[in-house]
Amino acid sequence: MGYKFATKAIHAGQHADPTTGAVMTPIFQTSTYQQAAPGDHKGYEYSRGTNPTRKALEDCIAALENGSHGLAFSSGMAATETVLKLLKPGDEVITGDDLYGGSYRIFTKVFAHYGIKFHFVDTSEPDHIAAKINDNTRLIWIETPTNPTLKLADIEAIGRVARAANVLFAVDNTFASPYLQNPLDLGADIVMHSVTKYIGGHSDVVMGALVVNDRELYDQLFFYYNACGGTPGPQDSFLVLRGIKTLHLRMKAHCENGRKVAEYLKKHPRIDKIYWPGFEDHPGHAVAKKQMRDFGGMVSIVLKDASLEDTFKVASSFKVFTLAESLGGVESLINHPATMTHGSIPKDVREKVGVVDNLIRISVGVEDIDDLLADLAQALG
């Protein structure tokens, strides 16, 4: 029988250790495995390729995304890079004009050098994607909600465009997490996660993941995963397995606190713009309502008439929120995208899509909401 999300988060991919009966997956801190004869082994040869702790994690993440095959990587960028290795010179990629800075950097500063062409479009309109498709298009890569302006892309509609053109379709599902959204169910071929964020959830691991349903696609990705070696160690895999067990509980709290923070900020006189897909006047609200189970814990704000200096002052004034890169941990974080997570994007490019100097991105954690609201009040003044 198919288990529901909370049960999968706690049990999928994990079995009591046959040797000791240990309920928690052991940390198999080994680089290699004994073989009875050359090629006669128990499914494990060398830990760059496979490791039992990592395999349990990969199976668990795959189950949470309703996928058949999972791969865990040493970072979200290692996972992203492995998808791009499916391409060859002359291939073209259609992606979003509002992207995580690390994705923009690897597309433009690394893979563009190998003859791969990237088109950056507004992915909230499937027609913009369809208009860029030609005989060289091999991949559509989207984020939804986007980082940091929380634009929504209709996964189902884009999936139809991708299928009609016989193009691979990948979704970076980091901001939503598998708890809120499952792109494979909506027509995506590949789901990518920065596991560092909501899946790990405790700001103690850097990791990435890919999930697919197609065995042939999995085998292609596994080849690069093993050949190039961007794989995480067993200790990190264990920590993420531990984090996943409370993913459903944490996400409920992130969403609940996120809503209250967004509602408070929307009325605040110092806020010029607020980005949060739960508001009915958010351009992507209907799409978010259709494909997500709730609206998440990410909120971005633009401070009214604030210079860079004013914005820095606000960003540095918090006592409960921590000024730091990353997101999705149990603790609330404040980030200044223009100089931190999106610093690698040229100013004119990022400002065109709203990543201005007075924009602050907030990752709402699971602390007591009264303390979070009081901290916002004192920092904003």
- Give the ranges where the chain is alpha helix by DSSP (H): 5-11, 52-64, 76-84, 101-105, 126-132, 155-165, 177-180, 215-228, 234-244, 247-266, 285-291, 308-315, 347-352, 369-380
Q: Per the residue annotation, which of 59, 97, 98, 100 is the catalytic one?
A: 100
How buried is residue 85: exposed, middle or buried, by Cβ count under 10 Å (0-12/13-18/19+)?
middle
Q: How many CB atoms lie within 10 A of CB 105?
A: 16
d(CA 240, CA 213): 22
As a whole number of angstroms, the distance between CA 230 and CA 233 comes to: 10
Exposed, middle or buried by CB within 10 Å (0-12, 13-18, 19+), for 334? buried
Distance of CA 332 to CAs 173, 187, 272, 313, 323, Å? 20, 33, 22, 18, 9
The answer to whether residue 197 is catalytic is: yes
For residue 227 the two structure tokens come to 């050949």
Q: Which of 33, 48, 224, 313 is catalytic?
A: 48
| Catalytic site residue from 197, 250, 350, 361 | 197
* Axis-axis angle for helices 52-64, 234-244 (nearest 10): 30
| Cβ neighbours, 10 Å, residue 313 | 14
Q: 79 to each of 202, 210, 211, how far by Cα in Å?
A: 20, 6, 10
Q: Contact at 8 Å (CB) between 36 and 49? A: no
* Residue 128 amino acid letter: H
59: annotated active-site residue = no
- How far apart CA 155 and CA 98 sit, in angstroms, is 16
Half-sphere exposure of 250 (CA within 13 A, CB side): 25
CA end-to-end span of the chain, whole Å?
Answer: 54
Catalytic residue among 172, 236, 294, 357: 172
Residues designated as active site = 48, 100, 172, 197
